[in-house]
Amino acid sequence: MPKSNESASPHPRIAVDLNDIQIRYSSEGVLAGAHDGDYENTVTPWWAELSLADYPDDGDEPTVTSIGSIRCFLVNLDSDTSAYEALDALEADLGAVGTALFQDDGIVERTEIFPSHAIIIDRVWIDPKYRGQRLGPRAVATAIRFLGRRRITVAALIAQPDGWHKMRGRALRDNRQKVRQAWESIGFALFDNEVLWLDATDYDEEDYFTS
């Protein structure tokens, strides 16, 4: 949750104009492992596919290259089914985020307006050839605005570097700090030692990306 690999390559191998990235969103509306049908109305999985289209000069069809993906969950906090129970039943990491959302003095209580939805960022993957350009945070920022439109939303995630379970000591601390800084660059703030959050009610990624 989400295992960001954005810091894995300090210098981009293939430079990308952020405005050229296309993001396609999809949702099957079905939760794997959900035993209660009500969960489908409470927690909805979404995918965002990042791609680049190369348009040839001869007018032929463009070549589309996939460069990354995001998996996230849109949680309906107004559902009759307990959002915390739904999250906890699906995945351990989602349960940890649910605890942070709903505990006393938790994330929900810290928002200026009680949110109707929460967006949980679960996985972010960028092709190694395109890393080191903040593409992951930029795409997540755009996804938050897309999924949060016309909703009062809060976003949350667990920030861990890719391969963190194999790291020890200073290497783990340094990589966690890099990942945390990447999320802080788009407005997230630390809630506890692993969960970050963002009040996304009026979120605009242009506040964080000016070029």
Give the length of the chain: 211
Structure tokens at 61: 């069809």
The per-residue pLDDT of the chain, averaged, comes to 81
Q: What is the largest CA-CA distance in the chain?
A: 61
Whether the pLDDT of residue 75 is over 50: the answer is yes
186: nearest Cα among 203, 172, 211, 170: 203
Separation CA 155–CA 188 (nearest Å):
8
Torsion of CA 100, 101, 104, 106, to 10 degrees: 80
Within 10 Å of residue 199's Cβ, how many Cβ atoms?
18
**What residue type is assigned to position 153 of the chain?**
T
Q: What are phi and psi of 210, to 5 degrees?
A: -110, 0
Q: What are the pLDDT digits (tens) for 119-159?
A: 999 999 999 999 888 899 989 999 998 998 878 889 998 87
Place of tokens 């506890």: 192
Between residues 48 and 58, the one the model is more confident about: 48
CA atoms within 13 A on the CB side of 13: 11
Q: What are the pLDDT digits (tens) for 161-205?
A: 666 667 677 777 787 788 888 899 899 999 987 899 998 877 776
For the chain, what percent of residues have pLDDT higher than 70? 81
Q: Between vectors from CA 89 to CA 86 and to CA 90, what angle results, nearest 5°?
A: 90
CATH superfamily name and code, 3-207: Gcn5-related N-acetyltransferase (GNAT) (3.40.630.30)
pLDDT on residue 49: 95
Are 119 and 51 spatial neighbours (Cβ–Cβ below 8 Å)? Answer: no
The DSSP annotation for 104-140 comes to TT-HHHHSSS--SEEEEEEEEEE-GGG-SSSHHHHHH
Whether the pLDDT of residue 20 is over 80: the answer is yes
Between residues 36 and 177, the one the model is more confident about: 177
Confidence tier at 107 by pLDDT (50, 70, 90)? very high
pTM of the model: 0.81
